[in-house]
Amino acid sequence: MAEKERWPVCSFMGDGEAVAVPHSKLKKKGRPPIPKKENVFKELNGVDDDPRNPQKRRKGEGTGMGIVIDAPPCNTQAYQRAKEVQANLSPQFPTFLKSMLPSHVAGGFWLGLPKKFCNLYMPKLDTTIALEDETGQLYETKYLAQKAGLSAGWRGFSIAHNLLEMDVLIFHLVQPSKFRVYIIRSQESDELDGALVLLKSDGCRKQSDDANDHKNSGMIFCANVSHPDQVENTSEDFDSGIRFSESVVSFKQVTGVENFRIVVNGLVIDSELSKYIRNKYYELCCSQRSFLHDHLLEGLNTKLAAGIISETINIADAIKASNLTTSPDSLVIWDKTLKAFETMGMNVSFLLIRLDQLMKLALKLKRYKEVTLERDHAAEELKALEAKLLEVKQTINRLDQENDIQHMHPERLETMFQELADAPW
């Protein structure tokens, strides 16, 4: 009687399905045949891989256990932290998560991307894809369209960032051929990752309800949502959210606020600013005949760039509204803030010059008040001294009038005292 065939289990983490394969159909190398079941390797938050790639394999105890193919679990602390970071990213740009397997960080250095993501957003032909890390450093990789993965260049990125198995990466497609990559370390479960701290420090995301409810189809980076309350003085482009700039426009080509665009890292970020801030910023740029943000650091977060512009306008308005009663501490804070913006490439030198002039005048006013107060105190002390001097002079005059005592000498008085004491009764 033939021995009852034993069934090993091949577990794939793509969609959580377990596919049973007869032991007799296992290949000689011990690898189970790829089941022809549709969507077995369906991506789930980017956790997928081509089954032909090397994965962690372990043999079961005994001769009939077969082979179990493991993929990274989705319930690790690193993965949960990665989901938190992903939730803080702009929903206008597509993202996916990727847990690192041994094949990603050692050996072949091949990174398979989610096929569904590639079908929706990635180029249809082989091309160069740039990976930008959290410091703004760019790494070029080769994207293979048919294989839906990154090959040449990925090894350098992996080694440069010391990627380890079970690390989780968030890929943020900020441009058609550029990913911004956030790394969540698996061995730092007790500490917050830098990416999470950075994104949470930006505060709440300014997303309109319409933009949040809008469902993207294909490579849509901005929702074409109109805002009736902003149509009067702004163009349709201003209401369309963050998008790629179609061309490079110099400030000389700007003829009015209608065609004024705020472009940072190739992205139009007008929608990140209120209509008031945008109009005031246009006026400020006109006063200097240039885009004040033209030289902001490359790779600067768009929300941070919008925050710099917004705070620059707030400080400019505060400077205009300042007067002699404005606290000197406020002037110092504005000065420090503008100098910080200047180090990041914002053209605020004219504001710093004006602020420096105001601070010098305020310092002179402060010194004038101090000198005036000190002089008043000195005048009061002089009056007190003059009164004391008068009193002393009066005392001297009174004593001078006692002539009988004034003309006697102490020795003579002592002699008279002794003679009188010794005189007979």
Task: Give the CATH number for residue 132.
Answer: 2.40.330.10
Q: What is the rounded average pLDDT of the residues 167-176?
A: 91
* DSSP state letter for 142: E
pLDDT at 73: 56
Shared-domain flag, residues 189 and 220: no
**Following DSSP, what letter does each residue of 348-386 receive, concatenated?**
-HHHHHHHHHHHHHHHHHHHHHHHHHHHHHHHHHHHHHH
* pLDDT band at residue 340 using 50, 70 and 90 as cut-offs: very high
pTM confidence score: 0.38
> Does 224 share its domain with 328?
yes
Last residue of a domain, one of 177, 201, 225: 201
Residues 332, 242, single domain; the answer is yes
Sequence-distant (≥ 6) Cβ neighbours of residue 74 within 8 angstroms: 13, 44, 45, 47, 99
Tell whether 118 and 86 lie within a shared domain: yes
Mean pLDDT of 400-422: 77
Question: What is the rounded distance in angstroms from the CA atom of residue 297 to the CA atom of residue 305?
Answer: 9
What per-residue confidence (pLDDT) applies to 106?
75
pLDDT in tens, 83-134: 888 888 888 889 999 988 888 887 666 889 999 999 988 988 989 999 998 8
Angle at 98 between CA 96 and CA 99, to 5 degrees: 155
Number of domains into which the chain is organized: 2
129 within some domain: yes
Q: Given pLDDT bands bounded at 50, 70 and 90, which one contains residue 343?
A: very high
Does residue 305 belong to any structural domain of this protein? yes
Do residues 237 and 196 share a domain?
A: no
Judge contact between 351 and 280, C-beta under 8 A: no
What is d(CA 267, CA 311) in angstroms, rounded to the nearest whole number? Answer: 20
**CA dist 119 → 219, 222, 350 (Å):** 10, 19, 49
CA 41 to each of CA 94, 99, 110, 116, 165: distance values in angstroms, whole numbers, following the listed order: 21, 15, 17, 11, 20
**Which range of residues forms the domain containing residue 181?**
77-201
Q: Which of 329, 360, 391 is the last residue of a domain?
A: 360
- The torsion of the CA quartet 365, 370, 375, 376, rounded to 10 degrees, works out to 100
Cβ–Cβ under 8 Å, residues 67 and 38: no
Asked if pLDDT for residue 381 goes beyond 90, the answer is: yes
Mean pLDDT of 399-424: 78
Shared domain for 233 and 348, answered yes or no, is: yes
User: What is the Cα–Cα distance from 101 to 157, expressed in whole angstroms?
Assistant: 15
Tokens read off for 399: 């004593």
Most confident region among 12-21, 223-232, 253-262 by mean pLDDT: 253-262
Lowest mean pLDDT among 60-64, 158-162, 343-347: 60-64
Sheet with strand 267-268: strands edge to edge = 243-244, 267-268, 263-264
Based on the domain organization, do 196 and 242 belong to the same domain? no
Q: Which of 235, 209, 239 is nearest to 222 (CA)?
A: 239
Q: Is 271 left (phi over 0), alpha (psi -120 to 50) or beta?
A: alpha
Residue 257 pLDDT class (50, 70, 90 cuts)? confident
Residue 329 inside a domain? The answer is yes
Flag whether 122 is in a domain. yes
Q: Which of the 8 DSSP states describes residue 2?
A: P
Distances (CA, A) of 112 to 143, 154, 250, 334, 357: 10, 11, 41, 49, 59
Amino acid, single-letter form, for residue 290: S
Q: Specify whether the CB–CB gap between 293 and 300 falls below 8 A.
A: no
388 domain-assigned: no
- Mean of the pLDDT values across residues 303-325? 91
- Say which amino acid occupies 304: L
Q: What is the mean pLDDT of the chain?
A: 73
| Residue 401 resides in a domain | no
- The count of other CB atoms within 10 Å of the CB of residue 182 is 25
Determine the average pLDDT of the residues in 397-401. Answer: 80
Orientation of helix 194-201 relative to helix 77-88, angle to 10°? 30
What does the pLDDT read at residue 240? 53
Residue 341 has a pLDDT of: 94
Distances (CA, A) of 209 to 12, 223, 227: 38, 11, 11
Q: Are residues 163 and 251 in the same domain?
A: no
Domain boundary among 360, 381, 413: 360
Is residue 196 domain-shared with residue 245, that is, in the same domain?
no
Q: Judge if 221 and 355 occupy the same domain.
A: yes
pLDDT in tens, 262-277: 998 888 898 888 889 9
CA–chain centroid gap for 82, Å, is 17
Q: Same structural domain for residues 197 and 240?
A: no
In a domain, 416, yes or no: no
Residue 28 falls within a domain, yes or no? no
Residues 337, 266, single domain; the answer is yes
